[in-house]
Structures are given as C-alpha cells and as structure tokens.
Structure 1
C-alpha cells in the first residue's frame, strides 16, 4: 500500500518529537507521501512537485508579517503538498496563527513537532519505507503481469484477458470503450477504480475492477492495461461483442473445443458470466415445438427474455435450436425456468411455441459442458416422447433415460408383453385404443374425469374402457400400487419403442 501521512507520523523518529496534527485534519489516512523534503526557504513551493511532506523549523518565515505566513501556506497547498511538519522551539515557540488559519482554509495538514529531532533521521526512515513499498508494488505488478501472460497464452483475446483480471483480483472486471460500449466483463464493475487503455497514443477505453482498491487490485490493473491494449491491437477486426463471445464459448463447450478449464473460467468472466454464492450453473436447450414452424428472430427473443428472468446467461444458436447457459439460485431453478418458458411461449406461441429442456445443476462453468449435453439429450427424448409439458428437466425424464439404455433388452421386452400383451392384441384387432386409455389414466393420476377430458370422451365411455382393460388383464385392480407400478413401467417401455419407430410386439401397437 502507498506510504501515507499516518505512516510518516508513526515512524519512531517522528514520534520522538511528539507530533500534533493541526491545520487541516481530515483524511490523513488517504494522503500519500511520495517523498520527504527539508527546506527553510520561504519561496519553496515552485521547487516542489506535489505529494511531498515538508520538514522545516520555519526559519525563513521569521520576522515576516501574517500575510506572508498565509501566502506560504496557500502556495504549498496549490502545489499539492501532502503535509507541512513544523518544528517548534528554534524559530517559533508556538505555531504562527495566520499560517494555521490559512492551512485549515486551504486543506493543508500541519504537523507541529514539539521536540527537536534531526531531520536526516526522519528522511532516511521515511525514504527507506517509501522505496520498500515501491519495490514491493513493482514486484506485485511483475507477478500479476506474468500471470496475465500465462492466461493470455491459454485463453487469448480481450474477453479471456479481462476474465483473467477478474480471477486474479477476485473482483468483477469490465472493459468499456471511450464511447461507453461494454466490451467485456460485468457492467457492475464500471463504477470501480480503473486504468485507461491507450491504443495508438489515444484513450481507447477503460479497464475497471469493482471492489476495494487494495495492492492486488492496483497491481492487476497496472499490469493489465498495456496487455489489454495489445490484445485490442492484435484483433484483426476489433473486439467482438460480449454476446458473440458468449455464443462462441457455449459452442466450444458443447463441441469440446477448449484448451483447459482455466480457459473456460476466464472466458466466462470475460463475458460477464459470474456465479454468485448460493448459485449454480445449468445448461438448457430451447427448440421449436414444430419442425415445420419458422421462428424468425427467436434467438434475439431468447437472449432478451432469458436476461430478464435469469441472473446471468449465455446464449448461442446451434443445429436449429438455442443453447442457453445460466447461473441460477440452487433453490429456485425450476421456478425461474418455468417463468422464462411461459414468457417465451407467450411471445412465440403464435409461431408454434418452444420446448425448454434443462440438464442438471452443476457447480461451475467447466462442468456446464455436461449439463448442456444432458439438456440436448433430454430435449431429444422429450420430442421423441411428445411430452406435453413445455419445460422438461433432466430429472423429470430420468426413468426414461434409464429405460432407454435397456429398451432392446429381451427380458424387458418379455416383461412389457406379459403386462400389456392382451391389450396390445385387442387394440391390434379392434383399434379400441385401450393401451392409450390406460396410459392417459396413469398420466391423469387415476382421475377418471380428467382422463376423459384428456381423451375427449364421455366419462361413461371411459368407465367402460377401464372395465374392459381390467377384464383383459385378468380382473386386476388398477388401484393396487404394485399392479399400477408394473403396468406403468411397461407403458413407459411401450412408449419408448413406439416413438423409437419399433412395433414393440409381434401383435403391433395402437396409434397414439
């Protein structure tokens, strides 16, 4: 950290003189002492650069009128003097009132030294501390620069570099052009401390970090400024937008085109994708309900609505559907996705609507690849099964996924035939649709009135079908849990075979 006036006053050589703060008293913790100078010259101000602490006995002010004392204090304040340290006893037994009054008016701290101390002891101790801190700061900048160079080699480009700045500093980072366009990082970081990015001798933009301006933050910004400028210059067509960079990141995730998990983490932070405490990452797929329906502008709709409903998002279009990566609260993921799904279908319903499928929650961006692939698999299965719900999570179809791995198993096929064989054979001869009726009854939670509504038949008709089903299955009681569970499992296998293009049995299957 910089050497401040408080650090100077804490030096043993100064403490021995019993320092008393007078004049301007506010903010001494933030007043940086760049150097310590000694002088008895009255007209010393033109010889200073600002940031110094000036040690004097006031010899050059002796016998001068109060107006000269005021002018002395005002001139020192104008050049940016950090503080005036006035030793009492040699030239002045007490501090000149006019000097203190003017110093308070112009904001110049005055430290009264009530004991005699060799100024050389103060300057030696102060300069040693200042140089040590400067060397430490330079080492920190060099260390951060090396880390950023390593990050550039792993994740080249402005997006990856800004993300690496956020990782190294532990604070959100942002890169904004001189015109105010957010190029990389988080919009929240724009209000933090920053450094100008100079390209071609002009200010191209500003790199900022949001948070306390500690040594690591300052070192990261100082090291990163020139490297960001270099990346901007190396970009053949300038810097791409955060949205395009996020889309490329998702595409690379699903295809496996990335060098390391560190590369992914840096690029995610570079596009402003931050996973807050208590949140998790989830991969989703948004696809049209009908392959025959064109959804003009739907990518932009998904981008806009997902940004409205979810804390952090990345969106990309791939193979006719939209990939979505999101950071969501662990406890509220389904609720947020349901709100997004309803919003999308309210806007795109006239064009056929969309199906939203999600993979499992994962801890970080590198694990998002698996969640995205699970979302793709879930969406394929949901379409294959003609799922009625507009939102399907991978956990909702976990049993389907398990059975799908065993759908060609001979024992499972024999089980399905043993449970549903009489119904399948009856439907093949008569087209009565009893298998579909039983399936709908289970979907309706054994509510006959709801099942009748879903099938579009009268309840009396449904009662007759249910009675016929029970008879064909040997008089089973469909209300018994064990019987219902076995039949439901067989129906799941039947649906998988049916929608997979297989007949499922030698007797055939009823149309859905």
Structure 2
C-alpha cells in the first residue's frame, strides 16, 4: 500500500504535515502502534508507525523518538492529535530534519481504523502476489514436466531478471548456468553457501554482490547439497525478480530429486562392481559388464578413490554423495563415476585427473567443522589392475588419516612403498605369483592347521626376530623355528636371505 492511498481515504480525515509528492509514493509494508520513546528494536523497515505521543514531555524527546523511527527505516509517522490538541511543532520539525513523512491523525479517527485499512490492503496485495507466484511456479513446473531442461530454465530466468544465474553443487560443480564465473567468485560462492549461518545470504567480491540460496530442505547437510547463486543482493530486488529466483530454486530442487532417484537405481550395480574389484576381480569380464551397466567405459585408464569420515560410520552415504560430486568434476558427461560402499568406506571408480578431483574435494573443508573426511586415490591404471588400484587407494587413505586437517587427500603418486608397485601389476599376475610361492604353505595349513601362514606373517613383520615372534604369538622360540623351517622347505626359500624374504613378503601382500 502506498502512503498516497492511505492519506487519500476521505473516511479517515488524515493530513500530511511533512512529505512531498515523492514521499507519498513510499510503500507501507506493515503498521506498528507504539508509545515507546525508542521503538527501533521492533521495526524492520517499511512500517507506518502510529503513536499517540504520550511519551513527549520536551522537544528533546521528540528528537529522540523521530530519530529512532527514521533510523529504523519506517515509511512514515502517523501522530495522534488527541493528547495535545494537535501535533506539536517540535515533532514536525524533527520529522523535517530526518526527512520522515508525518501524518496527523485527527481525534475523531481511531488508530484501529487506520490499522485495519493498512493491514487489509497489505494482506490483499500479499494474496495477489502469492497467487501470481504460484501461477508462475505452476507454469514452470508444467514446462519442466513437458521436457524443459534445467539449463533452459536458468537461461530464461537470467534473461527475464537481467542478472546471471547458476545452479551449483557444494564442491562448485556447475549443474546449469547462464554464464561462467571467475574462479575467485566461484570459490567465494561455495564458501558462503557452506558457512553462512542463515540462507539466503549475500557475499561480495571486488564490490560485486552475489546472493546464495539453498536448494532443498534446511535440515540437509550442505556438503552434499546444491545451491543457486544469482548476481546482486536479494534484499534490493523487486518482487518479480524475487519470485523468479524462488521458482528457479524450486525447479532446481525438483531436478536434483530426479537425478538422485536415478543414482539410487544405479546404486546396486555400482555396489556389485565395487565388490568384484575389492575381492580381486577387477580384471574379470563381469566387472567390466557391471561398470558398463553403470555408464562407465571400462577400457581406458581409471582412478580409484576411497573416502570415509573418521569414527563416523553413520556418514558413509554422505561420503558416497561427496565422491559422486567431486569425481563428476573430472569425468566426461557421458561417463559418470561409479561409486559404491564396501567395508564402511565409499569407493569411486572414474576416468580423470586425481589432482583435479582433490582440488574439488578440498572446497568442502569449511563445512566439516569437527568432522574429518579422509580420502585416498590411486593413480590412473588400466582395467586389468583395478583391484591393485583399490589397494593403493586404501593405502593412500591410511596415510591421509595420519595427516592433520579436516580433509586430507593423499594420491597414489605420493606413495613410495611396495603398494604402488603391486598395484601396477595386473591382478591375475599378482594372484598367480602369490599362488606359486605360497600354495604349498596354504595347502599344508589347510590339512594340518599348523599355523604356518600366521607365523610367516609375524616373522616378516618382526624383521626376523625369533623372540619377538614367539612373544607375539605366545609360542616357544623352538616352535617358531620349527614352523619357519617348514615354510622354507615347502617354498624352497631361505628366510635368512634378503631376496627370498622379499619374495615371500610380496607374495603375502598379493593374496
């Protein structure tokens, strides 16, 4: 409601004591009646403040009251004439100094009549706006249901609003955008989304403002969600722009739900593929079939990544969603990452650069708080060595757990142990090598239960110390010597020789 409409109502008999034609074009958002000397804490801007002036005992108090009302952004002051037989001159002068429109309310006009008129007009306007908003959102939803893509929705809203719009994931991956943004702006948008106490929020880069809106319920973890970022500060927008952006947020939520449903359908296939790889079947034909069914081309170099929250097994699905998002930064659009869960950790298989994958992941660090997400990746390997790549990724994550920070990421390129060497060997060759070296020992244990394998592993882990092995396994030293002697007889290796000891160590790690 405009001030002009209020004072133009003949039934109320209101008079303008201060305010020009431009002031009468002010919009009244609500009405607030008060006799407090300082009501500013209860005002949020745009109100018509009605007062009987019972607080006034001196011109100084008039100055104090008017300054508080004007400073809070009120649209105007409606002052009752009943107490003083008119509006005191010092109140009028204070309103002139602070450029606050002043309206006199005659004694015969009740404040409730003024309030009823304003509230009725504002409520009607809000109802009309709500109806228009719902109509626009229905039109958008109908268009989307008919096949309009999110990219088209973003482009249309950006054109109608005259400002850049984009839908982004928590790692800054572009889902749809009217125009790209520079990297520093993208990083600020992501950080604002992940850390703002309340959303929507406004962030600024080099003087330019950007508004960030959450997509989906407020209770959802932000690090697995989407957000909408639009040029400009949302409090300054007109109603039409605000409604258009609200529609975009709703459509983005719908699109995200659709994609999430597709991921849930493919989840069982992904889990099967990860299980085959984890159990040494990375080079089997059925593994390639599962990867193809999940949409991934298994013929090129592939990276394996594992991730989990430290001491939070309940967040394994969040870890899965994070890997999907981060890996999608580096995978071609027609070959999405395959992400499953095994042994309490999320595992991803994808083509792409593990270093770029790590950069995307680290954008989530501001959202973790007291949580720790540790991640390990392999270097790219051919499909015949996928099981070894998973071992390398797990080893890299073990190393990440020993590092500081909320989100340490270790890549296979940082590993210098035998794990990297074994991972580069095709899975069938590693299994064949282990079988040739250790098959006689395994068979002997199966027949007799002699515990030779356990003793051998402890012997190598204790650097060949008889006494430490005996202490660890609670055996007599002579028993340890006897068992190691049997291992040497069955394998044809001399554990006193470094080269033979390395053969047995690598064979154990290749099982």
TM-score class, shorter-chain normalisation, is 0.3 to 0.5
Larger radius of gyration: 1
Give the TM-score, by structure 2 length.
0.37
